[in-house]
Amino acid sequence: MEIFKKYFLMMRNVRYKPKNIFAYEGLANVRLAMLKGEVNMGSESSAGYNGKVVPFVKQNQLMPLYSTGLLNEEGNTKPEPAVKNIITVEQLYNQLHKTAPSGPAWEAFKVLVGVAVTGGKGILFPPGTEAQAQIVADACVKMNADPAFQKDIAKIAKGNPVIVGDELVGFWKAAFSAAKPEVITWLRDLLKTEYGVAFE
């Protein structure tokens, strides 16, 4: 954890505007671009990190900077079990600024963590298909209780939960309750200013 702190203490004094590159098709190509020195930063899911990136970390070819964390039912971030050894954005901010993150940027970040990370692999059904949704939910519960599944999932995402039923409803309520109008406005302004995305 100390190496991450030193890195960000160094980087916060560097004044430059990062450039996002959207041309790569798939994270495998982004990973290759980092190894070749074409780009200096990319992102991975916890499964991708544990399954594909860790060998390069052990060879000192890549370095993890931070984890987004997951969103809990109270709408706050928490460390992700599958990458618990990597400092979270919230923990890093606390270390650098000696205070908790706040403001519209932080609230927008939590919304994105909720819908794109914690709920990023969600299975959703349209209204009128409750019976079919229950079949899938029951199957997920049985899958999660299967020792063979637990053995496989432990290799790439150990400790990450499979959320179904009332717990899932509670999570989605927390994720979307954080998307207050002022947060949505902030995100839209960011997308328009930085990336030229227009909203009607």
Q: How far is CA 158 from CA 12, 79, 128, 137, in A?
A: 33, 13, 34, 21
Per-residue confidence in pLDDT tens, the chain, 200 aa:
444 444 445 445 555 566 778 888 888 899 999 899 888 888 888 888 988 999 999 998 999 989 998 888 777 888 988 888 899 999 989 988 899 998 888 988 888 888 778 777 778 889 999 999 899 989 988 988 899 988 888 887 777 777 777 777 777 777 777 678 888 888 888 888 888 888 77
Instruction: Confirm if 51 and 87 have CB atoms less than 8 A apart.
Output: no
Picking from 115, 107, 114, 117, the residue whose alpha carbon sits closest to that of residue 72 is 114
- Residue 179 CB partners (closer than 8 Å, separation 6+): 111
Q: How far is CA 111 from CA 32, 71, 163, 177, in A?
A: 30, 9, 18, 9
pTM: 0.74
> How many angstroms separate the CA atoms of 135 and 78, rounded?
30
pLDDT for residue 168 = 76
DSSP3 helix / strand / coil % (the chain, rounded to 5): 60, 5, 40
Instruction: Confirm if 73 and 161 have CB atoms less than 8 A apart.
Output: no
Phi/psi for 167 (5° steps) reads -65, -40
pLDDT for residue 14 = 52
pLDDT for residue 147 = 92
pLDDT for residue 181 = 87
Q: What is the CA radius of gyration of the chain?
A: 19
